Amino acid sequence: MNVLCVFLVVGAAMSVSGQTLAGPKHDRKVVCYVASWAVYRPDPGRFTLEDLEPALCTHLIYSFAGLNETTNTIKSLDPWQDLETDYGKAGYKRLVNMKQKYPHLKVTLAIGGWNEGSPRYSNMASKPETRAAFIKSVVLMLNNYKFDGLDLDWEYPTKREGKPYDRENFVLLVKELSEAFEPYGYILTAALGAGKTTMETAYDLTKLSRYLDLIHMMCYDYHGTWDGVLGANAPLKGVNDNDTLSVEWTVDYLLSHGVSPYKMVLGLPMYGRTFILLDPATRVLEYGKTPVGSTGFKGPYTGEAGFMGYNEICVETMNKSSPWVYHWHEQSSTPYLRDGEKVISYDNGRSIAIKVKYAIDKGLGGVMVWSIDTDDFKGNCNETDAYIDFVERHKRMANDPVVMKAVKNLNIPDVSLVGSKGPAYVLQDSQLTLRLPTPKYTNYALMQTINDAVSLAVEEKRILDEVKRLEGDNEVKNDDDKGGSSSVKGSLMCLVLTVMVMFNFW
């Protein structure tokens, strides 16, 4: 798209926005899980739906509903929080009502989760009659509360006392749900486990990818105290070539087993895993080797051994007199904090930005966060290093003549034409310049990083794809003809976009 087009589309969007607020400017999915029990955390970690700022999400998922195993029907797990009856807090309704202010949102209901276990889902999925009862109850529930769809969080088919036949039955369940949803236009998604054996035994990925609208990959909990040794919660790469426990391994496995990239949504943790070293005097920490105790420590708000929300972790990095020391672990592309025998492996703005870039480079549909209620929603922290890897790559690109040619072909705008807002690659004094997000002391630092990193990663990929094309077709003639026809297409596309935005098609 050229500069004029951007102006037209943005201008049209602003002129029709009225009372409602717009979502992200990029076109990728940002799926936000909301843990409804976060309301029971002590202040300032207590998170209510009034604290939820959904502008940077495209999808909200209310977590979790459960399964009544006698009737095989979906049920609220916390009627007082979820429902309106008996002076309840009406959580379902309040979350769905966010669409009034943010019409871009899709709001769905998740069923399952770790605490629900596997057997009751295994039983329900095992017979046509029980699946039918379940599906009927789901459609009723979605109709009643005006949700946009369902997210299946069965953890996991065939595992945790599930049965071998769950793999096939899960496909049947998904297929029958998707057929029942069709008349209503409901979306059907599922959260899938990212470990090698889970992916191998629990899921027929090719078939699931056919019937599900989106696949939310739970690319976290790769390591924890259960290993007996230190490890990263969500490493981008494994500790060696044979290590299957990494984001890259999971994504490559899915892509080579029939999952469409545009349906795949990469899960990002807004939390870390905590460890206590067996030998507090350990000098050099080695992931996969350094022994740890069988339980980790708790965070002050979430109160669960071995787990800490990003909002609990980041305040330690801000506190000058805190004993915690920050480290960057290169191999996993994640940070950790250490205070003597205590270690926290987690994700911050920098590691999140790296994973976002990875998702965009792989052509995935977008990213998901577990969960938005442990982002720094109060704005107590400063994320300062989030883009240092983008800056490094930009330095290498900046003086490359092929990059300059690509920039010219793509009509990268001059900084004087695009105003001062937003992160972007722009021209400044004829140089390719990376304009970072204006640093601001803001809440939802990780959500903000995701939003900005998606835009930057999309622009960076566009430039580097053009570089590849230039390097690839050095000898191809008639370059000008191609350019001509693609710019005609670009103008048509621009017209269509502008009209669609004016008529509020999204």
Ligand X SMILES: *[C@@H]1O[C@H](CO)[C@@H](O)[C@H](O)[C@H]1NC(C)=O
In the complex, which residues of this chain contact ligand X (CB under 6 A)? Answer: 68, 70-71, 75, 240-242, 315, 318-319, 321-323, 382, 439, 441
φ, ψ of residue 357 to 5 degrees: the values are -60, -40
Is 490 within 8 Å of 483 (Cβ atoms)?
Answer: no
Nearer Cβ to ligand X (227/414): 227
- Alpha-carbon torsion 79, 83, 88, 89, what sign? positive
- Considering beta carbons, is residue 363 or 439 the nearer one to ligand X? 439
CB of 318 to ligand X, least distance (A): 6
Least separation in angstroms between residue 75's CB and ligand X is: 6
Compare residues 260 and 382 and give the one whose CB is closer to ligand X.
382
Shorter beta-carbon distance to ligand X: residue 67 or 270: 67
Query: Cβ distance 24 to 451 under 8 Å?
Result: yes
- CB of residue 120 vs ligand X: minimum separation in angstroms? 10
Contacts of 109 (CB under 8 A, 6+ apart): 61, 62, 65, 92, 141, 142, 145, 147, 149, 150, 151
Strands 214-218 and 264-269, sheet pairing? parallel
Residues 6+ apart with CB under 8 A from 70: none
Which amino acid is residue 99, in one-letter code? K
The SS3 call for residue 437 is coil
Beta carbon nearer to ligand X, 322 or 504: 322
With beta carbons less than 8 A apart as the criterion, state whether 316 and 337 touch: yes
Is the N-terminal amide bond of 271 cis, ω within 30° of 0? no
Select from 371, 335, 339, 503 the least CA-distant residue to 446: 371
Distance CA 189, CA 187 (A): 7
Least distance (Å) between residue 243 CB and ligand X = 8
- Please, what is the minimum distance in Å from the beta carbon of residue 68 to ligand X? 4
Report the nearest approach of ligand X to the CB of residue 267 (Å): 27
Contact by Cβ (8 Å): 233, 245: no
Pick the closer one to ligand X by CB: 11 or 228: 228
Is 304 noted as a catalytic residue in this protein? Answer: no
Nearer to ligand X, 315 or 388 (CB): 315
Report the distance separating Cα 113 and Cα 137, nearest Å: 19
User: What is the secondary structure of 327-394 as a DSSP string?
Assistant: EEETTTTEEEEEETTEEEE---HHHHHHHHHHHHHTT-SEEEEE-GGGS-TT------STTHHHHHHH
| Collapsed DSSP state (helix, strand, coil) of residue 210 | helix
- Nearest approach in angstroms of CB 322 to ligand X is 4
Q: How many CB atoms lie within 10 A of CB 162?
A: 24
Can you tell me which residue has the tokens 């052509």?
A: 363
The residue length of the chain stands at: 506
CA atoms of 132 and 144, how far apart (whole Å):
18
Of 53, 155, 460, 466, the active-site residue reads 155
Q: Which is nearer to ligand X, 322 or 430 (CB)?
A: 322
Cβ at position 382, least distance to ligand X in Å: 4
Catalytic residue numbers read 155
